[in-house]
Amino acid sequence: MQYRKIGNSQKIGQSGLDVSVITFGAWAAGGWMWGGTERSDAVKAIKESYEAGVTSIDTAPIYGQGLSEEIVGEAIKGIPRDKVQILTKFGMRWDLAKGDFAMHSKKNDGQAIDIYKYAGKESIVKECEDSLRRLGTDYIDLYQIHWPDKTTPIAETMEAVAQLIQQGKVRYAGVCNYNADQMREAAESIHLASNQVPYSMVKRGIEAETVPYCIEHGKAILAYSPLERGLLTGKMKPGHPFSADDHRAKLHFFKDENLKRVNAFLEKIKPLADDKGATLGQLVLRWTVEQPGITIALAGARDARQALQNAAAMDITLTPEEIIFINGHLNPLELVS
């Protein structure tokens, strides 16, 4: 495994946080929007992933409405706290109708819930305490606003996180799904370590503004959904059956025509993966973290086998010529909306 530093600052006492280049993404572990979860499998996946060098885990309260954080807390028991990096989030409430309405949804048990994007100061303080309790820890390494909340001034949100840092409950501040302008505004109130944004071979919109901003200002980019929710593994074929509560069924990426086009592209780069003794998913993960500005890739897993496969992506290398070869087949790829 390789590690990269985020959160570098000129401030005394801020030397940065080392995170594993493949970070365990614990959304699916919480089951919510993924057709449920098997808790023991998720715990084992995190534990074995850690043994393979994946020391960083990204979660959020909304993932299973607290379940994902509880699973992470269970999985890291017994691991020295300074050997694991916990990345979690705030700003999505399913238990409070306040802020910017996000969506109607359902819990894993089928109970209907309404979710709001809300990042007011008092809410952040409460969320932090709840997360610390579920995670079984007294501090969070990277605390990230999950989505922009247009009802709360960014300065108010960041001042609340700064207070938590001062209290020792949070080490570093990050954002998720922020554009460059929002990052600039947030940076007026706090030292930002990172921005967690969607990025994959078929979703590269951040390359226009967000990546250049982060490179210029030394901010880490945590790429989520680098395998585009399984699309880029080559395992999904036209007609793939999704369960009723699997959110992917409604995404255009998984239309039969797009599955055909993506799989045709993957077949073209498969010989390279075969030459390296790697899966397509591993090749895609390695490509992702070699892109300009991309610091780490978040990779989810439902079981230990998937987790270990993800970790092993860092065992392969890509030469500049091989990246050019991949891009040569990738750049003409167009998906239908």
Residue with tokens 């967690």: 196
> In a 3-state reduction of DSSP, which class is residue 98?
coil
Q: Which residues contact 86 (CB under 8 A, 6 or more apart)?
A: 57, 59, 72, 76, 135, 137, 140, 141, 142
CATH architecture classification, 3-229+280-326 = Alpha-Beta Barrel (3.20)
CB 319: neighbour CB atoms within 10 A?
Answer: 9
Residue with tokens 């572990």: 29
Work out the average pLDDT over 203-232.
Answer: 95
- Can you count the helices (H) and strands (E) in the chain? 10, 13
Question: What digits encode the pLDDT tens for the residues 39-98?
Answer: 888 899 999 999 999 999 999 999 989 999 999 999 999 999 999 999 999 999 999 999
Per the DSSP assignment, residues forming a β-bridge with 104 are 114
Q: What is the model's pLDDT at position 236? A: 80
Q: What is the model's pLDDT at position 241? A: 76
Look up residue 233 and give its amino acid: T
* Nearest Cα residue to 46 out of 316, 253, 308, 261: 308
Tell me the residue ranges of DSSP E strands in the chain: 3-6, 17-20, 22-25, 56-58, 85-90, 92-93, 100-106, 112-117, 140-145, 170-176, 192-198, 220-224, 294-300
DSSP designation for 241: P
Residue 34 has pLDDT above 50, yes or no: no
Work out the average pLDDT over 285-306.
Answer: 94
Q: What is the model's pLDDT at position 139? A: 98
Domain boundaries, the chain: 3-229+280-326
Q: Which residues are catalytic?
A: 63
